[in-house]
Amino acid sequence: MKLHIRRTPGGPETAVYVHGLGGSSTNWTDLAALLAPQAGGTSIDLPGFGYSEPPDGFDFSLDAHAEIVAGHLEGLESGPVHLFGNSMGGAVALLVAARRPELVKTLTLISPAMPDLRPSMKRLSDPRMAFAYLPLVGPRVRRQLAALGPRERAMQVIKLCFADPSRFAESRLNELEEEHSARAEFAWAAHALARSTFGIFRTWSARGPASLWAVAPTVTTPTLVVWGQHDRVISVRRAERTARLLPHARLLVLPRTGHVAQMERPNVVAKAVLGMWESVESGTW
């Protein structure tokens, strides 16, 4: 299959960035630029997101996304990479690091989608989404959601994911609006979002070795876990357990920060990442 990829030229190391549910490669623009002197990067649009059209038969499970990311890493031929993941992309990156440790030099997880089944309307960018797939009312709700303009959709996402939406630059909002406008023309976009959402919930409901809580202790890669104190999507209450289960992890919880710390506080995240890389190189992580 073909993936849409954004490249950030840079230093001798290689970084790979994986976005979350409903996101895209543009979610990493600022962080990738800050890390570029040390590591050039590739940020991918997962199948069905951004501008990556999913192939026929793609099942949108976390496992399927993880296979795509692992294939991308193999194709780079750069040796182990610094792998980043946010939200759904964090869960995907976790699976890649657990199953293909030879491909990953360090792992940075930003509000990874660890199992969080608490019911809360606050986790939705639009409360109507909770009713979109119910019998009878579902079709009408989906038509209402489809009628939203691209800028309105973009603002809903920012209000959900940022602790302080005013920190989102106007130029970035314009870019996000343009992206939402383009995706509205893709027949596969809504289907990919819905199927990936169901894929997350299936994994969250898994028990035994298939549970992400069981996968985490098998990750041997040095890991930085970053969480926003005011994350409304994946509660910060999952942060301590996540970091504790990962054998070589440290936790950074950021105040006044939401679900996408790499976008809301890229400078702080970049400093933390560089600190991890230095510690790993010196053998002190």
Tell me the average pLDDT across 224-241.
96
Gap between the Cα atoms of 31 and 267, Å rounded: 7
Summarised one tens digit per residue, pLDDT across range 28-64 is: 999 999 999 999 999 999 999 999 999 999 999 999 9
* Prediction pTM value: 0.91
pLDDT in tens, 179-203: 878 888 899 998 998 899 899 999 9
How high is the pLDDT of residue 136?
62
Alpha-carbon gap, residue 162 to 148, rounded angstroms: 20
Mean pLDDT, range 137-149, rounded to an integer: 58
What rounded mean pLDDT belongs to the chain?
90
Question: pLDDT tens digits, residue range 8-27?
Answer: 999 999 999 999 998 999 99
Using pLDDT thresholds of 50, 70 and 90, give the confidence band for residue 227: very high
Distance CA 263, CA 188 (A): 26
pLDDT of 263 reads 96
Identity of residue 216: A
Position 259 pLDDT exceeds 90: yes
Question: Residues of 210-237 as b/e, b for ≥16 C-beta within 10 angstroms?
Answer: eebeebbeebebbbbbbbbebbbbbebe
Query: Higher-confidence residue: 256 or 155?
Result: 256
Structure tokens at 138: 């579902």
| Token duo for residue 212 | 């992400």
- Cβ count within 10 A of residue 40: 18
245 burial via Cβ count (<10 Å: 0-12, 13-18, 19+)? middle
CA dihedral 168, 174, 180, 185 (to 10 degrees): 180
Check whether domain 5-115+188-282 has CATH 1.10.390.10, yes or no: no
Cα-Cα-Cα-Cα torsion 213, 214, 218, 219, nearest 10 degrees, comes to -20
Which pLDDT belongs to residue 110? 98
Residue 146's CB: how many other CB atoms inside 10 A? 11
Helix (DSSP H) and strand (DSSP E) numbers for the chain: 11, 6
pLDDT range class, residue 131, cuts 50, 70, 90:
very low
How far is it, in rounded angstroms, from Cα 285 to Cα 186?
44
